[in-house]
Amino acid sequence: MERVIVIGSGPAGLTAAIYAARANLKPLVLAGGLYGGQLMLTTEVENYPGFPEGIQGPDLMIRFREQAERFGARIENVDVTSVELTNKPLTVRTPDAEYQSKTVIVATGASARWLDIPGEERLRGRGVSTCATCDGAFFREKHIVVVGGGDSAMEEALFLTRFGKRVTVIHRRDSLRASKIMVDRAKSHEKMDFIWNTVVDEMIGDTHLRALRLRNLLDGSSYEFEADAIFIAIGHTPNTDIFKGQLNLDAAGYIVSPDGCATNLDGVFVAGDVNDIRYKQAITAAGAGCRAAMDAEKYLEALEFAVKLEQPA
């Protein structure tokens, strides 16, 4: 019987693991096949406190992991396939094992969204991607398109200027949602240009992306636009499929936790992007991971004290 299982290994999951490990709870972290969460797919992180020169996302996550392991967290790089959280003990399954625990901290994060338009799925990995750090280098001296108007889109586009001969941002409105510093950098970059009030309706190409069908939302005109690669950066979907029917989710699929890190189920706590529709920062996720671990520790203390009282003197 585990005392704490953490599902997920981004800043939220690994901070929960650091705190739970330092409380001597020997947490088991089911980290997912690829540990580290979304920061493993980013480049420079400039706003995580403590790194005045910035730090690469993967390097930051390696540090989180080493810190958790130093205090006794056990980290397994496996995906959780199903859970049973409505009965005690709480049960968590992976392809090869079934674990039981008194508490579970859900920190499964969120995954990049796709446009869901014709051609997108067929051309994935052939010029269509959601990860500039993974795939950008394939498009040296090519024309690259980025879709989206938020910080992710600006970050991806600026990174892609290292490779592409031109980077065009296509946005459905005429103003960007991204923070001012990112907007200023993007708008002043010589390799970048913008197409406003426009959506992508289709991705065109046989073996590789060749063009996009674009539609101007103001006048409805539709036209083909040549591009060698497209990176989609239109936000994220919370990773909550395995919790459906057990944890309360909102309409967008985020786990609902009206009171701090507690969920609708006893002993189950939540942290990070999987229930954060608003901030979605590494630092806020880490803070939530800390809170979830402290709440789990309090819950365990009360639970184990109650069991002691029930035992005959």
Q: Tokens 């005690």 sit at which residue?
A: 88
Site string for ligand NAP, 48-87 (x = CB under 6 A): ----------------------------------------
- Selected from 9, 103, 152, 161, the binder of ligand NAP by CB under 6 A is 152
Q: Which of 83, 147, 167, 229 binds ligand NAP (CB under 6 A)?
A: 147
**Tokens 């200023």 sit on residue:** 184
CB neighbours of residue 47 within 10 Å: 13
Nearer of residues 175 and 207 to ligand NAP, judged by Cβ: 175
Position closest to ligand NAP via CB: 150
* Radius of gyration over every alpha carbon of the chain, rounded to an integer in angstroms: 22
How would DSSP label each residue in 88-140? SSEEEEETTEEEEEEEEEE---EEE-----TTTTTTBTTTEES-HHHHGGGGT
- CB atoms under 10 Å from CB of 49, counted, come to 8
What are 101's two structure tokens?
Answer: 């625990």
Give min distance, CB of 239 to ligand NAP, in A: 15
Q: Which stretch binds ligand NAP (CB under 6 A): 119-127, 158-166, 172-180, 304-312?
A: 172-180
Closest CA to 246 of 264, 271, 272, 269: 264
Q: Which among 27-35, 136-144, 233-241, 291-299 is the span making contact with ligand NAP, rule CB under 6 A?
A: 233-241
**Which stretch, 53-61, 142-150, 204-212, 214-222, contacts ligand NAP (CB under 6 A)?**
142-150
Least Å from the CB of residue 42 to ligand NAP: 7
Concatenating the DSSP letter of every residue in 229-243 gives: EEEE-S-EEE--GGG
Locate 176 and state its tokens. 């960007």
The answer to the question of residue 172 lying near ligand NAP (CB under 6 A) is: yes
Convert residues 99-118 into a mask of x (bound to ligand NAP by CB under 6 A) and - (unbound): ----------------x---
Q: What are the tokens at 276? A: 């954060």
Cβ neighbours of 58 (radius 10 Å): 16
Q: Indicate whether 47 belongs to the interface with ligand NAP (CB under 6 A).
A: yes
Largest CA distance in the chain: 81
| Amino acid letter, 5 | I
Closest CB 233 distance from ligand NAP, rounded Å: 6
Residue 132 as a binder of ligand NAP (CB under 6 A): the answer is: no
Among 235, 246, 284, 287, binds ligand NAP (CB under 6 A): 235
In the list 65, 102, 280, 291, the residue contacting ligand NAP (rule: CB under 6 A) is 280
With tokens 């498009």, the residue in question is 139
| Binding footprint of ligand NAP on the chain (CB under 6 A) | 47, 115, 147-153, 155, 172-173, 177, 199, 233-236, 280
